[in-house]
Amino acid sequence: MTDRTVAHATFSIERKYDATPARVFRAFEDPAAKRRWFAEGEEGWEVESFDASFEVGSFERSRFRFKGGPLITNDTVYQDIVPNERIIISYSMTVDGRRISASLATMEFRKEGKGTRLIYTEQGAYLDGLDQVEQRRIGCEEILETLAKELERDSAAA
Amino acid sequence: MTDRTVAHATFSIERKYDATPARVFRAFEDPAAKRRWFAEGEEGWEVESFDASFEVGSFERSRFRFKGGPLITNDTVYQDIVPNERIIISYSMTVDGRRISASLATMEFRKEGKGTRLIYTEQGAYLDGLDQVEQRRIGCEEILETLAKELERDSAAA
């Protein structure tokens, strides 16, 4: 008997930002911005390393902990980049050395009035009972909320 | 206006092989075997290059044509490997320099009697109208049929 299981699931999150597609896209492209909203995020997250990359076929690697907890890793590979329009990544995560998921995530940036509708679609394989799609969706919603704060910050600085 | 579109879809193929999970898994792991059934496949496929790799975080790259047609590329990254049990990859494909898809594919190897049930699940993003899930499913079914022939060949040689 094996305890290996794979739960395949897909979810989408739509989020409106008061910033143009080019500005929202730039928050993904710019390594300093991406580190702030994606890796550092809200209070409690401790970034051990964030090796940014933003080109198709490149790896972007993050190593972090939440409030002194176990090491969490995220290894992302850029699959497709269409400037200001679309980013597709694959990424896998481990917690304490155990792989919890592998995912394909598509981000579509659509102009809507003076802002942007971001459509985030994750097609995930959640592994061995170590992660669940509901939890992943909540995590992604939180990250897309910190992106909103990054864009406000960027806007205030402009 | 943009002509960029993403069609997200998931499909599964189940295939029974008269070979143990270890033997089926080996056909993925062994670069010479993998080149035969995956890259060369049936008549008409011309392999320009096949750079094998079989470790998590590594790229495996194939370049090929069908009957002198346009260049087709497949860049695969291994996301998860559990020997004899599970392989998860991400892969993206281009035809004539245009990206047609990015996918996450899970292969589960389950012992069934003296054989193996392979469950192949693809979660794909089919891009800009250049590929369709129905077509991809047919292609995968063909490849899993050439794997059956590889296993018969392997069996005859043993």
Using CB atoms, pick whichever of B6, B56, B123 lies closest to residue A108.
B6
pLDDT at B93: 98
Q: Please give the Cα distance from B71 to B73 (Å, whole number).
A: 7
Interface TM-score (ipTM) > 0.90: yes
On whether residue B40 sits in a domain, the answer given is yes
Q: What percent of chain A has pLDDT over 90?
A: 91
Is pLDDT above 50 for B158?
Answer: yes
pLDDT digits over B127-146, tens only? 999 999 999 999 999 999 99
* CB contact B60 to A (< 8 Å): no
Q: Please give the Cα distance from B41 to B62 (Å, whole number).
A: 13
Residue from A59, A80, A100 to probe the interface with B (highest B Cβ count within 10 Å): A80
pLDDT digits over A75-127, tens only? 999 999 999 999 999 999 999 999 999 999 999 999 999 999 999 999 999 99
Q: Is A50 left (phi over 0), alpha (psi -120 to 50) or beta?
A: beta
Sign of CA dihedral A81, A50, A143, A96: positive
On whether residue A97 sits in a domain, the answer given is yes
Q: Taking CB atoms and an 8 Å cut-off, how many pairs form between chains A and B?
A: 89
Residue from B74, B75, B98, B123 to probe the interface with A (highest A Cβ count within 10 Å): B123
- A6 and B108 within 8 Å at the Cβ level: the answer is yes
Taking residues B114-118, what's their average pLDDT? 97
Q: What CATH number should be reported for the domain holding residue B113?
A: 3.30.530.20
Using CB atoms, pick whichever of A90, A103, A106 lies closest to residue B8.
A106
* Longest CA span, chain A: 59
Residue-range definition of the domain harbouring residue B49: 6-157
- A10 and B8 within 8 Å at the Cβ level: the answer is yes
pLDDT at A44: 86
pLDDT at B1: 40
What's the whole-number average pLDDT of chain A? 95
Position of tokens 């299981």? A5
Give the CB-side neighbour count of residue A21, counting CA atoms within 13 A: 17
Asked if A75 contacts A91 with a C-beta cutoff of 8 angstroms, the reply is: yes
The count of other CB atoms within 10 Å of the CB of residue B43 is 6
On whether residue B133 sits in a domain, the answer given is yes
Domain count, chain B: 1
On whether residue B15 sits in a domain, the answer given is yes
* CB contact B53 to A (< 8 Å): no
On whether residue B1 sits in a domain, the answer given is no
Residue from A51, A82, A88 to probe the interface with B (highest B Cβ count within 10 Å): A88
Burial environment of residue A113 by CB neighbours within 10 A (0 to 12, 13 to 18, 19 or more)? exposed
pLDDT at A48: 96
pLDDT digits over B7-49, tens only? 999 999 999 999 999 999 999 999 999 999 999 988 888 999 9
Residue A151 C-alpha, separation from nearest chain B C-alpha, in angstroms:
24
- A8 and B80 within 8 Å at the Cβ level: the answer is no
On whether residue B53 sits in a domain, the answer given is yes
pLDDT digits over A55-78, tens only? 999 999 999 999 999 999 999 999
The confidence band for A1, taking pLDDT boundaries of 50, 70 and 90, is: very low
Q: Please give the Cα distance from A135 to B105 (Å, whole number).
A: 22
* CB contact A27 to B (< 8 Å): no
On whether residue A1 sits in a domain, the answer given is no
Structural tokens at position B44: 């008409």
- A79 and B57 within 8 Å at the Cβ level: the answer is no
